[in-house]
Structure 1
Amino acid sequence: MVVSDLDGTLLDHETYSWQAAAPALALLKQRGIPLILATSKTAAEVRGLHRELGLGALPAIVENGAGLYRPGVADGAEPGYARIRAALEALPDRLRQRFRGFGDMTAAEIAETTGLPEQGAALARRREHSEPGLWMGGDGDLRAFLQALDRQGIHARHGGRFLTLSLGRTKADGLRQVAAELSPDTVIALGDAPNDVDLLQAADIGVIVRNDHAPAIAQLPEEAVGRIRRTKKIGPEGWNDAVIGLVQELQKAGD
């Protein structure tokens, strides 16, 4: 099973194209190896790409592991997001007013904040499992905000500009859930940024895909024994070489 981050990994940083990885994607289909997308995007955002890649009924890990997208299952009915929003509304006004989540913004405001086109921002606003937002207060209030949410079982992660609230699941949790369902012999994970480290470490083999536009991933202990590797090429070109090489390596080991 191959589990892959999207932006900067399978998708080119500039063009968001996966075409450079087409040979590896074709090899996975030919060998019947499932490809599981793992992304910060919502189910609504990932649905089109999932269909474009011909991934059929396979699930995808969405919202940074907070949930799974399952083709054919309607979105919008998950209780996780409602629980997060209820926890926010239960906060004292002093703290609540300092966090502006996607659920507090219009699609136009999200587009202005993220740089997404407004249509894409509307899909990003269709949350099911997590709530990204902007923190507009000081460090003292932030500590109080996080502590109050933690008492309600809500966890927070910083990533770039946004503070994202969830029930604590990560991409690694999503990987383990899908692996338990599909029972693969080997799990390969690919990612490009520090927020992918838990995903890479949860796999049998992890691949850090070079992305000169993202913060670098520090040297990991697993690299010393070859369980995590790095690509020389960038984005989907590196992804393509890594996946083809690993499939061939595993085939030789099994012969």
Structure 2
Amino acid sequence: MQCQLRRFINDSMTATTDLIVFTDLDGTLIDHDTYDWSPAQPALSALKGMSAGVVLASSKTAAEIIPLRQTLGLHQWPAIVENGAGILSPNGAETQDASQYNELLSILTKIPPALRDLFRGFGACSPEQVIDMTGLTAKAAQLAKQRMFSEPGLWLGTDMQKAEFLKILTAQGVTAQQGGRFLSLSFGTNKVDQMRRIIETYRPKHTIALGDAPNDVKMLEHAEFGVVIANPHRSPLPPLTGEEDGHILRTKASGPMGWNMAIHDLLDRLELH
């Protein structure tokens, strides 16, 4: 996928667009419990009507994003997958290359069992266990296990044990990002790294980013306007850079309802309707 990304960056048209929206999925564009996005449909339709870009930026795999992006009518835009560890090119159905993922799993097997067993990663789980962890359907759980770059999982130990676990991984070149539910391990790039590359390619006049979790913070702060979507299932994010001057906003409504209201408010503010 990284080779395809390089071709995408080198070969894409650099025509400007007025607006690109970068959005997290679970708990943001998609409801935390029901996985429904229909409350956001009015704003999605408004963005489509003005030819604005919508880039999905999620911990989900390419296998998960491809059908979802098609359903949302966003297949003509790139998507950021596996928390920024990879990117899905416009209209692309990427060829699976799990070499990075297999290397990551190999590193995990070398961690002392007392620590390794406190991390319940997708790779060590059956589809049925992934369903229990995520609430996904059986088909969606199978897609979530088709990983190429990163390993998400639940941390079952203490903060002190987690710090020791991550210290060992860092020495092996593995980085960690805390999402809404899962700790995600990979070898490098995050959502904002891929966001920068997409902005460099499309050169939008305006950018908006929306998210609800710690792994969204850098993406929110890098956008012209960042929107923290309320999520009653976790503690709110701390004050962010740009919040005092109005470039970071917070919604009162959660999930896709908050997403819909925030996009309409910002389109009015930017006079882009």
> Which TM bucket (shorter chain)?
0.7 to 0.9
Task: Identify the residue that residue 30 of structure 2 maps to in structure 1.
Answer: 11
**Deviation (angstroms), 1:197:** 1.4
- Residue among 81, 86, 105 paired with 2:101: 81
Q: Do the aligned residues in 1 keep the contact of 2:179 with 2:214 (CA within 8 Å)?
A: no
Q: Give the root-mean-square deviation of aligned CA atoms.
A: 2.5
1:186 aligned residue: 206
1:207–1:146 CA distance, 2 compared to 1 (3 A):
closer
Q: CA deviation at 1:42?
A: 1.2
Q: 1:24 to 1:121 in 2, by over 3 A?
A: same
- Identify which range, 12-21 or 156-165, moves more after superposition: 156-165
Shift of 1:133: 2.8
Q: Which residue of 2 aligns with 1:250?
A: 270
Aligned length: 252
Cα pair distance change 1:73/1:148, threshold 3 Å: same
Identify the match of residue 77 of structure 2 among 53, 58, 62.
Answer: 58
TM-score, normalised by the number of residues in structure 2:
0.81
1:99-118 to structure 2, matched below 5 A, reads 99-118=119-138
- Distance in 1 of aligned mates of 2:160 and 2:217: 29
> Which residue does 1:26 correspond to in 2?
45
CA distance in structure 2 between the aligned counterparts of 1:145 and 1:194, rounded to whole angstroms: 19
Question: Distance in 2 between the 1:23 and 1:139 partners?
Answer: 42
Structure 1 position 47 matched with structure 2 position 66: yes
Q: Which residue of 1 aligns with 2:16?
A: none
- On the 8 A contact 2:221/2:240 being kept in 1, the answer is no
Identity within the alignment, %: 45
1:153: which partner in 2? 173
2: CA distance, partners of 1:112 / 1:235: 22
How far has the Cα of 1:58 moved from its partner?
1.2
Aligned amino acid, residue 96 of structure 2: G
Who is 2:252 aligned against?
232
In structure 1, the residue matched to 2:7 is none
- CA deviations 1:141-194 (Å, max 9, x no partner) are 655543332222111234466432111322212211221221111111011233
Query: In the alignment, which of 191, 214, 229 is matched to residue 209 of structure 1?
Result: 229
The change in CA–CA distance for 1:119 and 1:153 in structure 2 (over 3 A counts) is same
**2:145 alignment partner in structure 1:** 125
Report if aligned partners of 1:192, 1:214 keep a CA contact under 8 Å in 2.
Answer: no
SS in 1 for 2:228: strand
1:174-224 residue CA offsets vs partner (Å, 9 max, x unmatched): 211221221111111011233321110011111112222332122224111
> Displacement of 1:33 after TM fit?
0.7
**Contact 2:150–2:184 (8 Å) recurs in 1:** yes
Give the Cα separation in 2 of the matches to 1:144 and 1:234.
34
* Matched letter for residue 221 of structure 2: Q
1:115 is displaced (CA, Å) by 3.0
8 Å CA contact 2:180–2:213 kept in 1: the answer is no
Cα distance change of structure 1 residues 160 and 235 upon mapping to structure 2, 3 Å threshold: closer
Instruction: Flag structure 2 segments of 5+ consecutive residues without an equivalent.
Output: 1-19
Decide whether the 8 Å contact of 2:210 with 2:229 is kept in 1: yes
Q: Does the CA contact (< 8 Å) of 1:193 and 1:215 recur in 2? A: no
Provide the rounded CA distance (Å) in 2 between the counterparts of 1:240 and 1:123.
27
